[in-house]
A and B are shown apart, each in its own frame.
Chain A
Amino acid sequence: MADLTTNLGGKLTLKNPVMTASGTFGYGFEYHKFFDISQLGAVVVKGIAPFPSHGNPTPRVAETACGMLNAIGLQGPGVEKFLHGEEYMPFLRRTGATVIVNIWGKSIADYQDVARRLEADKAGIAALEINISCPNVKAGGIAFGTDPVLAKEVVSAVREATSLPLITKLSPNVSNIGEFARAVVDAGSDMISLINTLTGMAIDAETMRFKIANKTGGLSGPAVKPVALRMVYEASHAVDVPVIGMGGICTGEDAVEFLLAGASAVAVGTAIFADPYAPLKVIEGINGYLDRHGFGTVAEIVGKVHN
């Protein structure tokens, strides 16, 4: 049995390197009936803004080859309800899970606002993940994630607002991922996570309509894994902070590929929709791989891919 403990740059220590990707695991509550969610490296909850949000009109999802498009549009309860509503943070605290809160807003002031309120009531919150990469909301989200100057401004502002460890989630919808990785690390991000979804589209030929009301959506699932691996590899060479890799991970072997590419930890997302137990199977799979290859820790394989 390998030691799966994962130290992320001295800022955050996880019992294993497997998290859930924001937006695919609700607020943890929904999956606790299937298994004890404190077994996960971390639970990354669905995006929290300073305000409650309706999200987008329906239909919001469409299945595509080996994946899916979504344009949920960050429906959420808002930070007050998240902190005090029984099924949100109070529930998560009781489970003993390591909780990472994904945050978003429509303006830089919004990001600061939500970070401050989580800072003030941070009991049980291990880190914040700054979402500057949601492709499905008009204001905020990806607008900050596809302009390196704005990305830097958002992260600097959040850095001022909180002492919690900061992860910045990067968009793959850019031509030079290294530039964005460097910008957010310069601005004070302790870690980076990637990839968010790839902007895509699906059309129903018979009805001649968009399959998603928002017209475009974010592509996720096994279909995006090669793109995600390439970007994790590039980003991990651009910065020397820990990288959390995600994009199409379904199995322990998928996760190991991300670790070899340079990720220090991974997140499971869309695979959870197909199998709620997928994150646990990924933990077991990583452990089995390390044992089989005679490695004692996860860190021993991080970035070890070679020709």
Chain B
Amino acid sequence: MRQGTIINNVRLKDDYYKVDFFAPEICASARPGSFVHVRISGCGDHILRRPFSICNVNESGELTVIYKVVGAGTEALSRLKSGDECDLLGPLGKPFSRPLDDEVPVLLGGGYGSAAMFMLTKESKTPGVALLGARNSKDILLSAEYRAAGFDVRISTDDGSDGLKGRVTDLLPGVLKDYAGRKLHFYACGPMPMLLALAGLLPDLGYPESELSLDHLMCCGVGACFACVVKIKADNADGFRYARTCSEGPVFRADQVYLEK
């Protein structure tokens, strides 16, 4: 089988799908938070690649991506079947750090951002906490898988259809109380407004080293085109520089993110 061959491509629910690619070389060096840049076959007049966070890898060389159909690329991907081939580049990007043995990893996932952090369950010696937030229960993904990995799963939804009614950040006080005295390390992936809120909040709570996976409309995926930039604090007159999320990120420390005044 050639690298990039689709093994399975199934609908999870609604617009969410799970695809397994055969990609042994990428699996060998994939880390939590790294991504693959996929040239989707059958994409018609859409010429650019699409980046996807790596959700999981296994020893058989199967690489799992969870995606939501949001446009032409993901629509084309959703139509591909077992045996179809895509062209994969990866693993790309600066991944999350490996959880330390004495740390409790606390993952904050917004929507399908929970998929980008799933491999942390394998790298963590200590079962951690997974805080999963979304607009409604349909957009909560991987809660059963995180539970099966021994994680303390807590859920929030904007409409209260699952878990706490509110934002994922509203789950933080409960975690800080229940895990008082333990060393916590925060990881987050989700929509940009959520991540910017966390960049403001987590350093103030005493966790400046929290890790946020930021992304922006990506083009080359390898640091060459400077399309996917976000503002990162810098020692210059403006106080920021544009950093490439594909090659300098996607993972940045919370206290490095430049917040507009």
Residue positions of A touching B, CB distance < 8 A? 23-26, 29-31, 33-34, 46, 52, 54-55, 58-63, 65-68, 70, 72, 75, 221-222, 270-276
| A222 nearest in chain B by CB position | B47
- CB pair B220 A272 closer than 8 Å: yes
Mark interface residues in B66-87 (1 if CB within 8 Å of A CB, else 0): 0000000000000000000001
Contact B45 A61 (CB under 8 A): no
Contacts of B241 in A (CB 8 A): 54
Task: Pick from A33, A59, A61, A222 the residue with the most CB of B within 10 Å.
Answer: A61
List 9 tightest A-B contacts by C-beta distance, closest first. A26-B224, A61-B227, A30-B224, A30-B223, A66-B45, A65-B45, A75-B226, A273-B220, A30-B222
Interface membership of B98, Cβ < 8 A: no
A68 shortest CB reach to chain B, Å: 6
Q: Once bound together, how far apart are the Cα atoms of A236 and B257, in whole Å?
A: 49
A70 to B221, CA, bound (A): 15
Select which of B47, B48, B87, B227 is within 8 A of A72 by beta carbon.
B227
Q: How far is the CB of B245 from the nearest CB of chain A, in Å?
A: 10
Mask, B214-258, CB within 8 Å of A = 1, is 001101111111110110000010100110000100000000000
Instruction: Check B47–A59 contact: CB distance below 8 A.
Output: no
A58 touches B46 (CB 8 A): no
A-B contact pairs, 21 of them (CB 8 A): A23-B225, A24-B224, A26-B223, A26-B224, A30-B222, A54-B241, A59-B216, A60-B226, A62-B217, A66-B47, A67-B47, A68-B48, A72-B225, A72-B226, A270-B47, A273-B219, A273-B220, A273-B221, A273-B225, A274-B39, A274-B48
Tell me the minimal C-beta distance from B49 to chain A in angstroms. Answer: 6
Residues from chain A with a CB closer than 8 A to the CB of B194 are: none
A61 nearest CB neighbor, chain B only: B227
Q: Which one of B49, B222, B223 has the greatest number of beta carbons of chain A within 10 Å?
A: B222
Q: Please, which residues of chain B bring their CB within 8 A of the CB of A55? A: 226, 229, 242
B216 proximity list for chain A (CB < 8 A): 58-59
Q: How many A-B residue pairs have CB under 8 A?
A: 85
User: Are the C-beta atoms of A54 and B49 separated by less than 8 Å?
Assistant: no
Is B89 engaged at the interface, CB distance under 8 Å to the other chain? yes
Contact A276 B219 (CB under 8 A): no
Q: Which residues of A contact B217 (CB under 8 A)?
A: 58-62
Chain A nearest CB: distance from B222 CB in Å?
5
| A25 to B219 CA separation, bound complex (whole angstroms) | 12
Q: How far is the CB of A78 from chain B (nearest CB, A)?
A: 11
Contact B47 A60 (CB under 8 A): no
Q: How far is the CA of A213 from the CA of B230 in the complex (A)?
A: 14
Chain B residues lying within 8 Å of A66, measured Cβ to Cβ, are 45, 47
Q: When chains A and B are docked, how far (Å) is the Cα of A68 from the Cα of B225?
A: 12
Q: Which residues from chain A contact B48 at a C-beta distance below 8 Å?
A: 63, 68, 273-274
Chain B, interface residues (CB within 8 Å), range: 20 to 34
- Nearest-Cβ distance from residue B246 to partner chain A, whole angstroms: 10
Q: A24-B225, A26-B225, A72-B227 are in contact. Are A275 and B87 (CB under 8 A)?
A: yes
Alpha-carbon gap, A276 to B37, bound state (A): 11
- In the assembled complex, the Cα of A148 lies from the Cα of B120 at a distance in Å of 59
B222-A31 in contact (CB<8A): yes
- Are the CB atoms of A273 and B242 closer together than 8 Å? no
In angstroms, Cα B45 to Cα A222, docked, is 9
Residues of B within 8 A of A222 (CB): 47
Cβ–Cβ contact B242 & A31, under 8 A: no
Residues of A within 8 A of B226 (CB): 46, 55, 60, 72, 75
- Least distance between B93 CB and chain A CB atoms (Å): 13
Chain A residues with CB under 8 Å of B224's CB are: 24-26, 30-31, 46, 272
B84-110 near A? 1/0 per residue, CB < 8 Å: 000101000000000000000000000
Residue among B49, B230, B242, B247 with the highest chain A CB neighbour number at 10 A:
B242
B222 pairs with A63, CB closer than 8 A? no
Smallest CB-CB separation from A60: which chain B residue? Answer: B227
Q: Which residues of A contact B49 (CB under 8 A)?
A: 273-274
Which residues from chain B contact A70 at a C-beta distance below 8 Å? Answer: 219, 225, 227
Asked if residues A274 and B225 are in contact (CB atoms below 8 Å), the reply is no
In the assembled complex, the CB of A1 is this many whole angstroms from the nearest CB of chain B, namely: 28
A54-B242, A59-B217, A270-B47 given; A30·B247 CB < 8 A: yes
Contacts of A274 in B (CB 8 A): 39, 47-49
Q: Give Cα distance in the complex from A191 to B16, angstroms.
A: 52
**A221 and B47 form a contact (CB under 8 A):** yes
- Nearest-CB residue, chain A, relative to B72: A63
- Starting from the known contacts A55-B242, A66-B45, A68-B219, 4 additional A-B residue pairs (CB-CB under 8 Å) come to A58-B217, A58-B229, A61-B219, A276-B222
**Which residues of A sit under 8 angstroms from B45, Cβ to Cβ?**
65-66
Residues of chain A lying within 8 A (CB to CB) of residue B39: 274-275
